Amino acid sequence: MQEPTILVVDDEADLANLLKVSLQKEGYKQIYTASTIRDAWTSFQQTTPDIILIDVMLPDGEGYDLCRRIREVSHVPVLFMSAKNEEIDKILGLAIGGDDYITKPFSPKEVAYRVKAQLRRAGYQTQDTITNIVEKTLQIGPFQLNADETEVHKNGVLLELTAKEIGLMACFMHNPNRILSKETLFERVWGEDFFGSDNTVMVHIRRLREKIEQDASNPLYITTVKGLGYKFVMPKEAQE
């Protein structure tokens, strides 16, 4: 499959370079940067990117304006980056055609994760992923997550999980022994703002436990941290 092309539009040179390095570590090679709307539009026309990361505040205008212009000719995924974290800003970004919105400061690793998710939805994989499936399979205790995060096995047996349950397992397996809030899980798996969707996450966690735990009422792997969220842990017998 053709290597995806990524365009990063941000006037902070250090941040743009940091994102470029982070994306390169994930196996992406064709990464272009621009610091203004004018340069970004020229690069867009010349490189035909498969995904675009746009800072909302640029020297010659707002990233929203660039997105509107792009939407007149393309449906390429657009991820907004902004220091504005008000709900109305996120709604505006998505309403004008953005596919995702991430607020600063953020982890470059998280941005790379979101880029990967958008490209995966569009049917792209890096050559590194394609040629190193076995090496990139994630194994934690009895659980195994395949490289493209579409299957989960337990003790070598394929688990019959829904897409959302696989998404939850991917979040947990990439963050073992870390507390993940309901908000974090919802935003990463559902790709939407939380808006108090406690029940949605709780229902899916319960169903997931029924499929991976010996006793869903007394979970060993996905534990509840009261008032904070959930943690993916390995009992001692699973580590031996």
Q: Please, which pLDDT band fits residue 108 given cuts at 50, 70 and 90? A: confident
pTM over 0.85: no
The confidence score (pLDDT) of residue 200 equals 85
| CA 108 – CA 64 distance, rounded (Å) | 22
Q: At a CB cut-off of 8 Å and minimum separation 6, what does 72 contact?
A: none
Q: Please, which pLDDT band fits residue 197 given cuts at 50, 70 and 90? A: low
Size of the chain, expressed as the number of residues it contains? 240
* Chain-centre distance for alpha carbon 37: 25
Q: Which residue has the tokens 């998404």?
A: 167
Backbone phi and psi for residue 170, each to the nearest 5 degrees, phi listed first? -60, -45
Q: Which range has the worst mean pLDDT, 54-58, 107-111, 172-176?
A: 107-111
Return the structure tokens found at 121: 């939805």
Select from 178, 230, 184 the least CA-distant residue to 206: 230
Q: At a CB cut-off of 8 Å and minimum separation 6, what does 182 contact?
A: 194, 197, 198, 201, 202, 229, 230
Q: Which residue has the tokens 């290597």?
A: 3
Longest CA span, the chain: 59
pLDDT tens sequence across 153-193:
999 999 998 888 999 999 999 899 999 998 888 888 887 66
Q: How many helices (H) and strands (E) does the chain have?
A: 10, 14
∠ CA 138-142-143 to the nearest 5 degrees? 40
pLDDT tens sequence across 87-105:
788 888 888 888 888 888 8
